[in-house]
Amino acid sequence: MKYRNAAERLPPQLLQELQKHAPGEMLYVPKTQRKAWGEGTGARSLYAKRNAEIRGQFRSGQDISTLCDAHFLSDETVRKIIYTKGETTMSTNEFDYSNYFWQNELVRIRHARPDDWKYHDKKIDSDERFYSDGTQEVPTDEAKTRERWENYIKTNEGNDKWICLAVETLDGEFIASGNIHGIDERNGTFGLFVGGEERYAVAALRLMLDYCFNERRLNKCSTYFYEGDTYYMPAFEKLGFKKEGVKRQEIFHKGRYLDEIHYGLLAEEFNKKK
């Protein structure tokens, strides 16, 4: 630090007052307010822009290993950027949704995240859970629910045969989880699932089917429901899924056996109706 003569820098009155307290001494005069790290060099804004880009790419479906390679960062660093509290919610200034493929007039679809566990079971009652998973679960707690969901996301991370998704309103409110599963590229078949209110489910299913049929070049979507399902089956029927067969008394629930009803939809049928 360069030495400066106080007589050249300070007004006479202030210099006389200073000489009363520290005559002949060398003093350091601190700044009134220090800049935050990186503000002087621009590094702070540069890293903020990079982190926003990483979160945006993750939300649009890129897996963590791809992000590590693209940004030359470690797995731990990328996870910290994505999952640090306060960093997982993006503002509209960070990501441009004006030409976003996974969006229509009603919903937006993004890749599911580990922190979605807190929404996953919020609006699902026991009967709805049964028709979703085909089982009546025993009581659980918050910690087990979180662990189960995070393991589900981690197991399927980067898997292009089983894609974990989340459905939101255009304002970013979580509606339901969903997935595209069992993708068979050779035979052009796949299955999918999404929950939520029927109008949102139909809108989300249209986006998912459009991707599978018109981006992945798959040919047929197959799925099944259990007899008495009023939660999920109506949305698929509204999209033109056709009943293809019944497995009689395939599953046991509430003291009686229920049929398993199989549905299918072809790419040509979807595109014709679209």
pLDDT in tens, 198-254: 999 999 999 999 999 999 999 999 999 999 999 999 999 999 999 999 999 999 999
Angle formed by the axes of helices 43-59 and 64-71, nearest 10°: 150
Return the pLDDT at 123. 64
The alpha carbon of 85 is separated from its chain's Cα centroid by a whole number of angstroms, namely 14
Q: How does pLDDT run across 126-161, given as a tens digit for each residue?
A: 888 899 888 887 887 888 888 989 899 988 988 889
Give me the residue label for tokens 């992945």: 216
Q: How does pLDDT run across 59-94, given as a tens digit for each residue?
A: 766 778 888 888 989 888 888 787 764 444 444 445
Return the pLDDT at 31. 66
Return the pLDDT at 33. 61
Please determine, for residue 271, whether its predicted confidence score (pLDDT) is greater than 90. Answer: yes
Helix (H, G, I), strand (E, B) or coil at 14: helix
Return the pLDDT at 95. 64
Distance, CA of 173 to CA of 170 (rounded, Å): 7
Domains and CATH numbers, the chain: 104-273 (3.40.630.30)
Return the pLDDT at 91. 45
Helix (H, G, I), strand (E, B) or coil at 120: helix
